[in-house]
Amino acid sequence: MDRLELVYEPFPGEALERFIEDGVVNHNFAATGMAEFFPVGFFLRNDRGEWLGGLTGFTWGGWLQVRFLWVASAWRSHGNGTRLMNAAEAFAVEHDCAHATLETHSFQALGFYRNRGYTVVGQLEDYPPGHTKYFLRKVLNVGATSATK
């Protein structure tokens, strides 16, 4: 059997990252028999074409996984995070998801997610030091499929 070289690569190219991600996804499909996977990406852009926020994630196994949600500071507290979350949750319901999950930290948006009906199902203290990482979930309103635009 060949000896495998261990390579440290802190900034792998998109193709290498995709190779690893595809390996995990394909393993998950084979192990569960669930292959309904849809990437989720909703973004905010102004009239000049500047990107000012967005939400990325995916749906799989009846769940929406929100990976990242970010809105430029000048555009926060104007309903833009809500618009992004509404769009993602509606997309998930349209793709037969009954649940959503995400992670946040104590210095991020825990209150925002709680106000949206997410509940904390776990937490990791002192990550990073002096803060807490929270794991949240929500039962989606299966009857609601229209996103707020």
Strand partners, 123: 134
Angle (CA) 59 71 19, round 5°? 40
Ramachandran quadrant class, 86 (left: phi over 0; alpha: psi -120 to 50; beta: rest): alpha
Where b means 16+ CB within 10 Å and e means fewer, 52-83 reads ebbbbbbbbeebbbbeebbbeeeeeeeebbeb
CA neighbours closer than 13 Å in the CB half-sphere of residue 22 = 6
pLDDT score for 69: 98
Task: Read off the tokens for 57.
Answer: 């994630």
Q: What pLDDT is attached to residue 147?
A: 46
CATH code at 36-139: 3.40.630.30
DSSP-derived pairing of the beta strands 63-71 and 99-105: parallel
Model pLDDT for residues 43-77, shown as the tens digit of each residue: 999 999 999 999 999 999 999 999 999 999 999 99
Please give the average per-residue pLDDT across 81-87, as a whole number. Answer: 98
